[in-house]
């Protein structure tokens, strides 16, 4: 983890993207603090290619409505996320206070990013069902356990069930860091890609990097190249959806017709 214990700023990300076809990004929270959300929004305000921010606000707080109101006019705040994967036990998504916070998001049209482990998908399904009008984005395909010798069949079953909800999108991101073998290869990822694209379809699966965490296993450019190969069998229109349009729809980005 020493690799990640340093500052990562827009200049570092710009250097990473220059050798790829990525020309716009959405930045996602890492720390669960309102201060970080404000900081990310300040970076986005000064860099046009940071198209949006998925921040954090205390959704389970009794005063969440007042906190949300403070960010009402932050045009680049397009969603919120809580690090549910690190919550003790499996009952967090069922908490009344947290669900009240999710309900309050509707007024602002914000998307909610669902950060969970594969074992938590069965708890995420009734959570999503409580909010049929809320747009969700499942991060990192729900982090299956990837090993050369064993396929995560439980993840396969559960993610297909979750994907039946049309208000749930999915990010193909952060996958290599879930590989338990020493290295990773395209054949290892292929079956997980196949399940993700089959479950969510080219209209609800989107590209993501999980940079800088992905650096634990791969470079930014190598990840883009790997996913480009996995997505190569999609039609041109489907690839446009996967690489940009699905994210624009899920996060309600209005880029004036640009992609």
Average pLDDT of the residues in 8-20: 94
Query: Taking Cα atoms as reference points, which of 148, 177, 145 lies closest to residue 158?
Result: 145
pLDDT for res 1 = 81
pLDDT at residue 109 above 70? yes
Q: Which pLDDT score is estimated for 255?
A: 63
- Please give the average per-residue pLDDT across 51-79, as a whole number: 97
pLDDT over threshold 90, residue 33: yes
pLDDT > 50? residue 159: yes
Beta-carbon contacts of 39 under 8 Å, excluding residues fewer than 6 positions away, are: none
- Tokens representing 83 are 């690090």
pLDDT tens, residue by residue, 90-102: 899 999 999 999 9
Write out pLDDT tens, residues 142-154. 999 999 899 999 9
Instruction: Give the per-residue pLDDT at 3.
Output: 87
**What is the rounded CA–CA span in Å between residue 219 and residue 209?**
10
Q: What is the pLDDT of residue 256?
A: 52
- Convert the pLDDT of each residue in 178-215 to its tens digit: 999 988 999 999 999 999 999 999 999 999 999 999 99
The pLDDT of residue 103 is above 60:
yes
> For residue 200, how many other CB atoms are within 10 A of its CB?
24
What's the pLDDT score for residue 37?
98
| 58 pLDDT more than 90 | yes
Q: What is the pLDDT of residues 67-88, one digit of tens each?
A: 999 999 999 999 999 999 999 9
Whole-number Å distance between alpha carbons of 90 and 62: 22
**Fold of the domain built from segment(s) 116-252:** TIM Barrel (3.20.20)
DSSP string for residues in 220-249:
HHHHHHHHHHHGGGS-HHHHHIIIIIHHHH
Which part of the chain is CATH 3.20.20.140? Answer: 116-252
Res 259: pLDDT: 39
Check whether 2 has a pLDDT greater than 90: no
- pLDDT of res. 254: 77
């Amino acid at each position: 983890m020493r690799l990640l214990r340093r500052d990562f700023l827009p200049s570092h990300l710009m250097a990473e993207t220059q050798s790829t076809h990525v020309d716009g990004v959405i930045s996602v929270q890492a720390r669960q603090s309102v201060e970080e959300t404000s900081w990310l929004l300040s970076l986005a305000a000064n860099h046009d290619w940071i198209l949006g921010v998925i921040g954090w606000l205390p959704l389970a707080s009794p005063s969440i409505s007042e906190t949300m109101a403070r960010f009402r006019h932050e045009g680049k705040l397009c969603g919120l996320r809580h690090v549910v994967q690190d919550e003790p036990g499996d009952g967090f998504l069922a908490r009344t206070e947290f669900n009240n916070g999710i309900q309050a998001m509707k007024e602002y049209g914000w998307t909610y990013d669902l950060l969970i482990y594969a074992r938590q998908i069965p708890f995420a399904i009734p959570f999503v069902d409580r909010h049929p009008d809320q747009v969700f984005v499942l991060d990192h395909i729900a982090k299956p356990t990837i090993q050369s010798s064993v396929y995560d069949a439980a993840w396969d079953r559960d993610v297909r069930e979750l994907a039946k909800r049309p208000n749930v999108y999915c990010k193909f991101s952060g996958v290599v860091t879930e590989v338990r073998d020493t290295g990773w290869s395209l054949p290892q990822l292929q079956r997980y890609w196949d399940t993700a694209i089959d479950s969510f379809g080219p209209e609800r699966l989107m590209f993501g990097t999980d940079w800088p965490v992905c650096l634990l296993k791969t470079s930014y450019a190598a990840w883009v190249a790997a996913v480009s190969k996995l997505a190569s069998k999609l039609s041109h229109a489907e690839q446009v959806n996967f690489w940009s349009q699905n994210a624009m729809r899920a996060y309600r980005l209005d880029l004036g017709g640009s992609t």
